[in-house]
Structure 1
Amino acid sequence: MTTRDVSQGEAEGNESWLAHFPVTFFAVVMGLSGLTLATHRIELKFAVSHTASLALTAITTLVFLAISTVFLAKALRYPASVRDEWNHPIRIAFFPAITIGALLIAAAILPWNRPLAHGLWLAAAVAHLGVILGVVAAWLSHRPFETVHLTPAWFIPAVGNVLVPMAGVKLGYIEVSWFFFSVGMLFWLVFLTLVFNRLIFHNPLPERLLPTLVIVIAPPSVGFVAWQELNGGEIDAFARILYYSALMFALITLTQVGRLVSLPFTMSWWAYSFPVAGFTIASSRFGEATGTLVPKALTLVSYAVLCAIILLLVLKTIAAMRRDEICRPEG
């Protein structure tokens, strides 16, 4: 074999790796951003230095830039591969994770650099609206979507809408925040009905998609945070409905832990992270606003679980990348 043959083989391997770099990698950014925001809440709770959340903000931003750069390179070199993901009935739901990651980073940056957060939030909010319109247009097209394609991952676009008020209210975009919140909650209720119908009355989720079950915790958790922001920090009847719905979904998820921990690792495991982060933040805010003991205790428990989950995911992702098990064609 000549040197030229070796070089060509290496190039083909690199091309194959890049062509199969999945949009689901942006779930990593959602998980790290959730950890960053949850850590900031813990720092506020105990009145300690914000060093940890600042470091996590920097790390999350770098990870987002790295993943975005690779995915952009894929889009430029292998546009057909990106189109295939967009046309995939399940992976299309992960495209809003790109703008969701930017929205979460903007919320994390806001306490430290308002102008930077403002610019990032504006760009992310506009881009998110565009992505959501594209996803909804795809859902309403004549594609042959079937019940088997419906998974809790379809909640991701709704979650993104509800996240807009987290920074939007503080930046003064009240009506824009109400718009996104209203749309997000509407889609959540629609897909909540559809997803539970699919889970109860149809074939069970494939093993590799079972981790997406945890996503059901996210919409009511971040919905509570957004509602509280929109209502000046007040806790009213609807805020309680949202928080206790999140708590119930968390308890339901606990009944599935035995199945979830026995699964072989895939990138879908990152679906465990952001919902737990959202529930941690919601519990912290609910406990502080009401003085209720249980949410305060749940804040510490869920934060400890979140840290353990993120550490496990990082280690397993690095190990899987070293074994060349991540960016490969679906079997």
Structure 2
Amino acid sequence: MRVEMRLVDWNPGYFLPTVAGGLLAAGGAAAFGWVRLSELMFGFGFICWVVLGSILLLRLFTQPALPNRLLPVIAIELAPPVVAGNVWFAMNGGRADFVARVLAGYALLMASVQLSMIPSYRTAPFGPAFWVFAFTYVAAVTDVIFWLKAEDADYSKAITYVLLALSTLGYAALATRTVKGMIRGTFLPEYPAAR
């Protein structure tokens, strides 16, 4: 609000300090039993999601594509509904109520977007932006685990172990590619020297 910014300069990374900050604070407050603070911070994160989400979706739909090296930050679009889902489960005692179902519905929509983005992600050079998958996808896995528990699903323990193993393999793959990229000098993008 205080600086002039073009719509094309926006990217989903703006969710992290605002939406994620508010929702994670709500989850922490809920863990300590601070009900009013968790509700307040959930509202803060949710409103940031609505406001910034509108701007970011407008940017993604109407402006030129993000630069190739930034394409992976589109994965952050999945984070708000799954983080909100995790926090909501912490706030409501793990029940799959109306709000949990609404958040899950939007999470499914954003997960389908992620599937459609796989070809685009494969064109992006591997760099720091790929680490957004770590937070986003583990938050999604956590949300699925909460749902398994809330629905008392058959084989929930086995599914949980598989999801945790896949998450661990995902982190290992990210770490391995990062180390290889750092050794080769390709992980961090090069910028022209300032004059």
Into which bin does the TM-score normalised by the smaller protein fall?
0.7 to 0.9
**Shift in CA distance, 299/216, structure 1 to aligned 2, threshold 3 Å:** farther
Aligned residue in 2 for 1:145: 5
Structure 2: how far apart are the matches of 1:308 and 1:267? 18
Q: Please state if 1:154 is matched with 2:14.
A: yes
Amino acid in the other structure paired with 1:316: R
1:292-315, CA deviations, whole angstroms, 9 ceiling, x for partnerless residues?
A: 569988756654442232111101
**Shift in CA distance, 163/280, structure 1 to aligned 2, threshold 3 Å:** same
Q: 1:254 Cα shift?
A: 0.6
**Shift in CA distance, 163/322, structure 1 to aligned 2, threshold 3 Å:** same
Amino acid in the other structure paired with 2:20: V
Whichever of the two has the greater Rg, that structure is 1
Give the counterpart of 1:207 among 58, 61, 68: 68
How many pairs does the alignment contain?
Answer: 191
Aligned residue in 2 for 1:178: 39
RMSD: 2.3
Aligned residue in 1 for 2:141: 280
1:158-179, CA deviations, whole angstroms, 9 ceiling, x for partnerless residues?
A: 1121012333222232222222
**Shift in CA distance, 240/328, structure 1 to aligned 2, threshold 3 Å:** closer
Amino acid in the other structure paired with 2:15: F
Amino acid in the other structure paired with 2:7: T
- The normalised TM-score by structure 1 is 0.53
Structure 2: how far apart are the matches of 1:191 and 1:302? 30
Q: 1:326 Cα shift?
A: 4.6
1:193-234, CA deviations, whole angstroms, 9 ceiling, x for partnerless residues?
A: 111111111111110110011111111101011112112222
Give the conservation status (yes or no) of the 8 Å contact 1:162–1:226.
yes
Aligned residue in 2 for 1:195: 56
Aligned residue in 2 for 1:118: none
Aligned residue in 2 for 1:291: 152
**Shift in CA distance, 298/242, structure 1 to aligned 2, threshold 3 Å:** farther
Give the counterpart of 1:324 among 161, 185, 188: 185
What fraction of aligned residue pairs are identical, expressed as a percent? 27
Aligned residue in 2 for 1:228: 89
Runs of at least 5 residues in structure 2 that lack an aligned partner in the other structure: none
Structure 2: how far apart are the matches of 1:330 and 1:195? 25
**Shift in CA distance, 151/300, structure 1 to aligned 2, threshold 3 Å:** farther
1:86-143, CA deviations, whole angstroms, 9 ceiling, x for partnerless residues?
A: xxxxxxxxxxxxxxxxxxxxxxxxxxxxxxxxxxxxxxxxxxxxxxxxxxxxxx21x2
Structure 2: how far apart are the matches of 1:296 and 1:149? 43
Structure 2: how far apart are the matches of 1:286 and 1:173? 23
**Shift in CA distance, 313/305, structure 1 to aligned 2, threshold 3 Å:** same
Structure 2: how far apart are the matches of 1:209 and 1:259? 11
Structure 1: how far apart are the matches of 2:84 and 2:155? 20
**Shift in CA distance, 190/298, structure 1 to aligned 2, threshold 3 Å:** farther
**Shift in CA distance, 223/150, structure 1 to aligned 2, threshold 3 Å:** same
Q: Please state if 1:264 is matched with 2:125.
A: yes
Structure 2: how far apart are the matches of 1:245 and 1:172? 27
